[in-house]
Amino acid sequence: MATMNIQATLHTIGLFDGADAGFFDSMAAKARVIEAEKGQILFIHEDKAESFYLITRGWIKLFRETLDGAQAVVDILTTGHLFGETSLFQDDLYPYSAEAAEASQIIALPLSVLKEEIEKNPKLALTMLSAMARYRKQQDQELEHRILQNAPQRIGCFLLRLADQNKSGPVTIHLPYDKTLVASRLGMQPETFSRALGKLKDATGITVKGATIEMDSLEQLSQYSCMACSSEFPCKDLKSAKSV
């Protein structure tokens, strides 16, 4: 798909529901498709923000770095997710850095056009508010998990959110990216991840084969992980917070 239909892609973004045709026109006109190779940096924390991004293929890692070199992974997003759009209300500076975790395709879109549309279209402003609220809830949850859950519990919680939580009976889950990256996403070292996954296996009876994890039912996991969380088990809504 060398020449993808950008307009059609833009119409799939929930955030843009209720925007008018002119908006999609100028958005598409100024859109820029980027083929990013693994490790490519898209922007750096506190860069001046002129674009926001839609992922159309691959995985993008959002992170921050301290003066002394430590790194905190904010999130790892894939196809259909937006990022960088909240800079609109944030001094126009990116609140994190973005790097392609693998070869990826993304579309850069102008923040200016989005800003205009939000200012003149109340519907969009409301949609954006909901999106921000959802994102906020997600962040709250993330913070809580880092504080209250130990390493094995965080892994269990991560797996639960990869699965269809309404399904009962046997479940198979595939890790979406390599274990080192999952570890960083969960705020732990690869070695800790490996050992913690072992503990989780012992504690819940799940089966681990490479990147594939199987269990008789999700309950094994939820009982173990959700114990140390303030939300009750089906917490699916957190995962589906796309395009925020």
Q: Residue 226 interacts with its own copies (CB under 8 A)?
A: yes
Q: What is 135-179 written as a DSSP string?
A: HHHHHHHHHHHHHH--HHHHHHHHHHHHS-TT--S-EEEE-SS-H
Stretch that binds its own copies, among 12-20, 104-112, 129-137, 207-215 (CB under 8 A): 129-137
Partner touching 178 among its own copies, DNA, none, CB below 5 to 8 Å by kind:
DNA
Burial (0-12, 13-18, 19+ Cβ within 10 Å), 121: middle
Query: Cβ closer to its own copies: 4 or 227?
Result: 227
Q: What is the 3-state secondary structure (H, E, C) of 82-135?
A: EECHHHHHCCCECCCEEEECCCEEEEEEEHHHHHHHHHHCHHHHHHHHHHHHHH
Q: Residue 160 interacts with DNA (CB under 7 A)?
A: no
Q: Which of 88, 90, 128 is nearest to 112 (CA)?
A: 88
Stretch that binds its own copies, among 2-10, 64-72, 158-166, 192-200 (CB under 8 A): 64-72
Amino acid at 37: E
**How many residues of this chain interact with its own copies, rule: CB under 8 A?**
43
- Tokens 């008018």 -> residue: 20
Query: Cβ closer to DNA: 28 or 206?
Result: 206
Q: At its nearest, how many Å lie between its own copies and the CB of residue 140?
A: 6
Residues written for the chain: 244
Query: Cβ closer to its own copies: 89 or 202?
Result: 89
Q: Residue 195 interacts with DNA (CB under 7 A)?
A: yes
> Residues 179, 203, 239, 242: which binds DNA (CB under 7 A)?
179
Partner touching 229 among DNA, its own copies, none, CB below 5 to 8 Å by kind:
its own copies
Q: Residue 151 interacts with DNA (CB under 7 A)?
A: yes
Contacts of 139 (CB under 8 A, 6+ apart): none
**How many residues of this chain interact with DNA, rule: CB under 7 A?**
21
Interacting residues with its own copies (CB under 8 A): 45, 64-68, 70, 72, 74, 86, 88-90, 95-96, 118-119, 122, 125-126, 128-130, 132-137, 139-140, 142-144, 146-148, 187, 226-230
